[in-house]
Structure 1
Amino acid sequence: MAKIVYNYIDGEWRESESARTFETSNPANSAETVARYQQSTAKDARRAIDASASAADEWSQMPAPERGSILTEASRRLTNRKAQLTELLVREEGKTKTEASGEVQRAIDIFAYYGSKASDLGGEVRASSSHQTDLYTIREPMGVAALITPWNYPIAIPAWKLAPALATGNAVVFKPASLTPGVAAKLVETLDESGLPDGVCNFVTGPGSEVGSTFATHEDVDVVSFTGSTAVGNLVYDQATDDQKRVQLELGGKNPAVVSASADVERAADIVAAGAFGVTGQACTATSRAIVHEEVYDEFLKAIVDRTETIDVGPGLEGGEMGPQVSKGELESTLEYIDSALKEGAELVTGGNVPKSEVAEDGYFVEPTVFADVQSDMRIACEEVFGPVLAVIPVSDFDEGVEVANDTEYGLSASVITENLSEAHRFTHEVEAGVVKVNEKTTGLELHVPFGGMKGSSSETYREQGDAGLDAFSISKTVYVNY
């Protein structure tokens, strides 16, 4: 029988009030059950919030360097169990072993980073216009932070929310996505073993309609941080802001890579393929559109097809270069987008099918897919596919390339591939995206700089990671001392 994982509330691993569970399966082998988790209720969510609210004051009063030492210890313990976490992530989410190992390392690095940053928390001193007056600011925690995380980066995204929230002195309630809760539970277990006081971090699995909604609406929650789809994010925002909670949203993307006439085409194809097909295209920053100057369009199309057809599709634990989609529903959604693109007149130049290989027959695999001659009003060019599907769009010049890049409701990540310095600088200023890259793939983030989107990709309130992550979970107080 598969292992049963419990909720973690007030320092104890507990069964849900419902006494019901749900299962996760291996997307590379759908017959394999990975684990069973608690099908929690609103009552479980409220119990978790109560525990956080009770623990918040004492945790906030702990010296910040002492809080940081717990995060640093968690980083050390995560390092010791990296191989175990990597395998669990592959089995539950479907990433390749290399991708999963890199994600676990990101979580390790994030806890080390914020463990160190905790010692630098403070405010600013300013000169007062009055005599015999000290004027300065201090930073204080918000109180209780509710964290709701997605399935596609099931340890990295929880890490980059949990670590700054805890470093700044907040107590936390945390709901991971139901498709991939395993490594999140291990992360919480590691924090417990690292000395985190009871009640400071509470972990509840279950449906968003029960657990997530309770987190977003409860009067004792002060800040909500959500990463996921735009539709669900907008619902969370509406629920949370009814009583003026602080809200941080990171949502979908339709990320362009503009290939200039001056680009090295072979290099451009490598960059675009890595961004489009890495992590099976299941990243909010994945390259979804290649917008290519007509002078190099045919050459680029051949190069991207050649590169795509070398990708080995198969289970991550068996050495596949691209793993499965996370679930049957995600696979069906991707296949529906492929069918829609064909009906709208896009040219399928490679992929588009479920692989017929023996290693792929038991999982949710799809071939990496490239469509040519895509128009910017087609669904495949407008909507987030969240699968390994690339739309190649021809443009007549650089200005049209930027215009097409911006012709979307999203604004998360964007890339330009060019040898023209003027184009590179113009792109960074003119493209509507929160992350802009020159001669790099749209995916991949540094942990010490802000991350977030524009337009429909974000609430455009607070950024994540770096110092911005600390800002999201703290509030400034200004102090006047007349002596």
Structure 2
Amino acid sequence: MSEINQNYVNGDWVQSATDEVIEVENPANPDEVVAKYQRSSTEDATAAVEAAAAVADDWAATPGPERGRILREAGTLLAERKEELTDLLVAEEGKAYAEANGEVQRAIDIFHYFSGKAADLGGTVKGPSATDQNLYTVQEPVGVASLITPWNYPIAIPAWKLAPALAAGNAVVLKPASAAPGVAIELARALDEAGLPDGALNVVTGSGSTVGSEFIGHDAVDAVSFTGSSEVGRMVYDQATDSGKRVQTELGGKNPTVVSNSANVAEAADIVANGGFGTTGQSCTACSRAIVHKDVYDEFVAELVDRAESIDIGPGSEHEMGPQVSADELESTLEYIEIAEEEGATLAAGGGVPEGSEVESGYFVEPTVFTDIDSDMRIAQEEVFGPVIAVIEVSDFDESVAVANDVPYGLSASIVTNDHTEANRFIDEVEAGVVKVNDKTTGLELHVPFGGFKRSSSETWREQGDSGLDFYTIEKTVYDSY
């Protein structure tokens, strides 16, 4: 594919100021270049912010129902292109077809959900102390919002940031991840065709150090929303807050599933395997620690190993589990596997690169299970971002909660139990922003808040649902005497 995808700025598809190109490979077949994108400059990013700032007041003044109509129409256009978008997502990111198809549907649902919310934005009426006075609040957009999104959910995460930002009346600049920017660009295409005013959304491809830094630091930017690694997230937070901007960061996780001695072990193994091996483990909410009661430990390990060894690995278009997104991600996962073995963990399943003609050239790794894990091992403390599950044996419920909390992250956590008291104590005591009972750590509803504790989040603003709108609005209190 020789055509270079352009940036979307002020309603036009425009050439970057640079001649540099990002080539996106198919991670299942790296010799195949799926698409080319511009490696944009600081000047390109500045132009995008200035375009957003120029239209921000007009877009904010657009009635909420009209903003909602545009979002609804964009969602309908995405639905008409669902198969095309799924194929593009699989080709660029490597995700299995069923997972990619579900992610595209999530983006469609998000646009339709926030299309209705746009008409509901208002405020509250309060009783004044004075006579002859009205006392009420109104919600207004914050202004220009910068969105910096990751590659692992390349359409869902841009959608769940973009839809509430636009619904609330903000002008937006978006930098998608360079590894898989195609589907985010298609969001812009759908919104453009749906009638979004020029400049209300601007999309620029390029590096975080160039485009992302300008999107964070520019004086015209009022709010920054970032999803990515904890290390980069801390830098984003510091840069944004130093210049007085509103900021939310959603970062990494080291998510546990506790398996009680009252659990159905086969069901627990299904839950852990789905949570840890789904999306090739490349999810911030993926289960990477199974914390298992000693009474069911051996049985659970056998069940989990069986599931790991039965997973069908290959190109995402045709197989159950696709590749990792890049050579660097594969190398990192294999390095963590090596570290775990060096620290004394026992490799119970996987641990290497699969063999076969369909997987010989891609960034594939086997679903991996480690046992004999101490909680202070790196494999039990650090985010791997690959299909690797560490199984930790515990003696009772209290120890399971202590181990679950014994990490610097706190994004998602689950418990598999038939004990009602255990379930409720776990909800109360676990340090995580998302808590599930008898369910996998992955998978989120779009109409409830999402965010983490500790290093998993800035702990400032939640995403999705009404909380997602809160980040993109600011309240004004009105005293109207007459």
TM-score over 0.5 (shorter chain): yes
Residue by residue over 1:282-328, the C-alpha shift from the partner in whole angstroms, topping out at 9 and shown as x without a partner, is 000000000000010001001111111110001111x2111000000
Deviations 1:447-478 (A, max 9, x none): 00000001000000110000000001000011
C-alpha displacement of 1:130 = 1.6
- 1:442 matches 2:441: yes
Match of 1:359 in 2: 358
**Distance in 1 (alpha carbons) for counterparts of 2:330 and 2:216:** 30
Q: Match for residue 401 of structure 1?
A: 400
SS at match of 2:358: helix
Counterpart residue type for residue 276 of structure 1? G
1:95-110 map, 5 Å? 95-110=95-110
- 2:347 maps to what in 1? 348
CA displacement at 1:116 relative to structure 2: 0.8
Question: How far has the Cα of 1:19 moved from its partner?
Answer: 2.0
In the TM superposition, what whole-angstrom CA distance separates every residue of 1:387-410 from its partner, at most 9, and x where no partner exists? Answer: 000000000100000000000100
Q: How does 1:70-219 map to 2 (within 5 A)?
A: 70-219=70-219
Give the structure 1 partner of residue 368 of structure 2: 369
Q: Give the SS at the match of 1:360.
A: coil
Q: 1:103-139 CA distances to partner (integer Å, 9 max, x unpaired)? A: 0000000000000111111001111122121111000
Contact 1:411 1:456 in 2 (8 A): yes
1:466 is aligned to 2:465: yes
In the aligned structure 1, how far is the partner of 2:53 from the partner of 2:326?
Answer: 36
Aligned AA (1:441) = K
**In 2: Cα distance, 1:20 partner to 1:322 partner:** 33
Aligned-partner Cα distance in 2 for 1:127–1:52 = 38
Amino acid at match of 1:378: M
Q: Which residue of 1 aligns with 2:21?
A: 21
Distance across 1 between alignment mates of 2:334 and 2:391: 18
Offset from partner CA, 1:339-385 (integer Å, 9 cap, x none): 00000000000000100111101100000000001111111000000
User: For 1:407 and 1:130, how far apart are their aligned partners in 2?
Assistant: 53
* Partner residue, 1:413: 412
Answering whether residue 260 of structure 2 is matched by residue 260 of structure 1, we say yes
Worse overlay, 127-136 or 275-284: 127-136
Where 2:363 maps in the other structure, the secondary structure is coil
1:82 partner amino acid: K
Secondary structure (helix, strand or coil) at the match of 1:321 reads coil
Identity %: 66
Secondary structure of 1:183's aligned partner: helix
Give the 3-state SS of the residue equivalent to 1:146 in structure 2.
strand
Opposite residue 173 of structure 2, the aligned amino acid is V
**1: distance between equivalents of 2:411 and 2:22?**
33
1:382 aligns with 2:388: no
Contact 1:351 1:370 in 2 (8 A): yes
Q: Which amino acid aligns with 1:71?
A: L
Structure-2-length-normalised TM-score: 0.99
User: How far has the Cα of 1:3 moved from its partner?
Assistant: 3.0
Q: CA separation in 1, counterparts of 2:420 and 2:2?
A: 56
Trace 1:37-48 onto structure 2 (pairs within 5 A). 37-48=37-48
- Residue 2 of structure 1 contacts residue 34 of structure 1 at CA under 8 Å; is this kept in 2? no
Q: For residue 145 of structure 1, give the secondary structure of its aligned residue in structure 2.
A: strand
CA distance in 2, matches of 1:151, 1:342: 29
- 2:405 maps to 1:427: no
| Superposition deviation, residue 8 in structure 1 | 0.5
- Quick one: distance in 1 between partners of 2:260 and 2:64? 48
Does 1:60 pair with 2:60?
yes
Could you tell me how far apart the structure 2 residues matched to 1:204 and 1:114 are? 24
User: Residue type matched to 2:295 in 1?
Assistant: E
Mapped contact 1:16–1:40 kept (Cα < 8 A):
yes
**Separation in 2, partners of 1:202, 1:315:** 32
| Cα distance in structure 1, aligned partners of 2:21 and 2:414 | 43
Which whole-Å CA distance do the structure 1 matches of 2:280 and 2:3 have between them? 27
Q: Name the SS of the counterpart of 1:436 in structure 2.
A: strand
Partners of 1:130 and 1:314 lie apart in 2 by 70
Supply the distance in 2 between the matched residues of 1:296 and 1:130 (Cα, whole angstroms): 67
SS in 2 for 1:358: coil
Contact 1:2–1:33, Cα closer than 8 Å, also in 2 = no
The residue matched to 2:310 in structure 1 has which SS? coil
* Distance in 2, Cα, partners of 1:179 & 1:421: 44
Amino acid at match of 1:284: C
Confirm or deny: 8 A CA contact 1:7 1:16 kept in the other structure.
yes
Aligned mates of 1:232, 1:306 — CA distance in 2? 37
Tell me how far apart the structure 2 counterparts of residues 126 and 4 of structure 1 sit (CA, whole Å). 55
Any gaps of 5 or more consecutive residues in structure 1? none
The 1-side partners of 2:308 and 2:35 are apart by: 34
Separation of aligned partners in 2, 1:378 and 1:459: 25
Equivalent runs, 1:313-332 vs 2, <5 Å: 313-317=313-317, 319-332=318-331
Q: d(CA) in 2 for partners of 1:15 and 1:333? A: 34
> Which residue in 1 is equivalent to 2:477?
478
Residues paired across the two proteins, number = 482
Aligned residue for 1:339? 338
Structure 2 residue 277 is matched with structure 1 residue 282: no
Conservation of the 8 A alpha-carbon contact between 1:161 and 1:469: yes
Stretches of 4+ moved more than 3 A in 1?
A: none
**Structure 1 length normalisation: TM-score?**
0.99
Distance of 1:385 and 1:3 partners within structure 2: 35
CA-based RMSD of the aligned residues comes to 0.6
Q: Following the alignment from structure 1 to structure 2, what is the Cα–Cα distance between the partners of residues 22 and 216? A: 22
Give the match for residue 292 of structure 1. 292
Aligned letter for 2:38?
Answer: Q
Structure 2 gaps, min length 5: none
